[in-house]
Amino acid sequence: MDFSKDFLRKLDSSKSLVFFTGAGISAESGIPTFRGKDGIWNKLRPEELASFNAFMKNPEMVWEWYQYRRKIISETQPNPGHYTIAEFSKHFDNVSVVTQNVDNLHRRAGSENVYELHGNIEVNYCVDCSEPFEDQIDYSNNELIRCRNCNGFIRPGVVWFGEMLPQEVFAKSERIASNCDICFIVGTSAVVYPAASIPISAKQNGAYLVEINTDATEISHFVDYSVMGKSGEVLPAMLEELLKLRD
């Protein structure tokens, strides 16, 4: 795989990298993306499954869907894309991952500075009193769980449509993106805001933007360098080229 020499030199001289990731980075692990031909939102309506109103209207159905997704995710493994991002931190002073994914695969691959803008599917809390529910959940039992504190329903710790992003995580992500040398935009359609404003903040503060995606996206015209391909193939090849250059 060929990379531009200018880009490799820029990468070599950079100290601080941010990887802004979306569902595409987990596609090669077997987790479906949201948009595109086989995307989840092509077959199912987000407002019926991923909103607070949907949960209050039909908690059994929404809980069952999340139990199904958790089961799929728990049976998957990180792929070379996740592992290579974790590996990058051995070669640069600062490497952070700002992800829209809730699947925990960056942490499982060994990344340390991970900021989850849309929450984490393994986390749960009470819909009424917000008390965390930390017991291990059996993903094959779809029965609703009640809060020990107030008897409210337990919900997944993900951000639903219409809900605010975790403000501290978002503010920290913006700060990191505003101070990085390169922001990689990996496997995301970059259409869901405010998350998609992260690479824009990076660019406005002087960062070089690199997109890695199998297709062109809304943000392609805005980036400095675009690599078309699967993140599980592009990222390992990119790190290999950098290490050759440094040899």
Amino acid identity for residue 199 in this structure: P
Q: Binding marks (x or -) toward ligand OAD, 100..139, rule CB under 6 A? A: x-----------------x---------------------
Q: Does the footprint of ligand OAD cover residue 84 (CB under 6 A)?
A: no
Q: Binding marks (x or -) toward ligand OAD, 222..241, rule CB under 6 A? A: --------xx----------
Q: How far is the CB of 71 from ligand OAD (least distance, A)?
A: 18
DSSP conformation letters of the chain: ----HHHHHHHHH--EEEEEE-THHHHTTT---SSSTT-HHHHS-HHHHSBHHHHHH-HHHHHHHHHHHHHHHHT----HHHHHHHHHTTTSSEEEEEE---S-HHHHTT--SEEETTEEEEEEEETTT--B--SPP-TT-----B-TTT-PBEEEEEPPBTPPP-HHHHHHHHHHHHT-SEEEEES----STTTTHHHHHHHHTTPEEEEEESS--TTGGG-SEEEES-HHHHHHHHHHHHHHHH-
Given the DSSP bridges, would you call strands 225-228 and 208-213 parallel, antiparallel or unpaired? parallel
Per residue, the 3-state secondary structure of 156-176, as one string, reads EEECCECCCCCHHHHHHHHHH
Which residue from 192, 197, 224, 236 is in contact with ligand OAD, where contact means CB under 6 A? 192
Q: Which stretch binds ligand OAD (CB under 6 A): 58-66, 137-145, 170-178, 207-215?
A: 207-215
Q: Does the footprint of ligand OAD cover residue 188 (CB under 6 A)?
A: yes
Q: How far is the CB of 43 from ligand OAD (least distance, A)?
A: 13
Question: Among residues 28 and 87, whose Cβ is nearest to ligand OAD?
Answer: 28
Question: Among residues 124 and 147, whose Cβ is nearest to ligand OAD?
Answer: 124
Q: How far is the CB of 57 from ligand OAD (least distance, A)?
A: 18
Residues 152-171 close enough to bind ligand OAD by CB under 6 A: 159
Question: Among residues 31 and 180, whose Cβ is nearest to ligand OAD?
Answer: 31
Which residue from 134, 135, 168, 215 is in contact with ligand OAD, where contact means CB under 6 A? 215
Q: Does the footprint of ligand OAD cover residue 96 (CB under 6 A)?
A: no
DSSP bridge partners of 182: 17, 208
Residue nearest to ligand OAD (CB): 24
Give catalytic residues, as residue numbers.
118
Which residue from 33, 104, 111, 201 is in contact with ligand OAD, where contact means CB under 6 A? 33
Assess contact for 141 and 66: CB atoms under 8 A.
Answer: no
Amino acid identity for residue 38 in this structure: D
Amino acid identity for residue 103 in this structure: D
User: Contact positions toward ligand OAD, by CB under 6 A?
Assistant: 22-24, 27-28, 33-36, 39, 46, 50, 100, 118, 159, 187-189, 192, 212-215, 217, 230-231
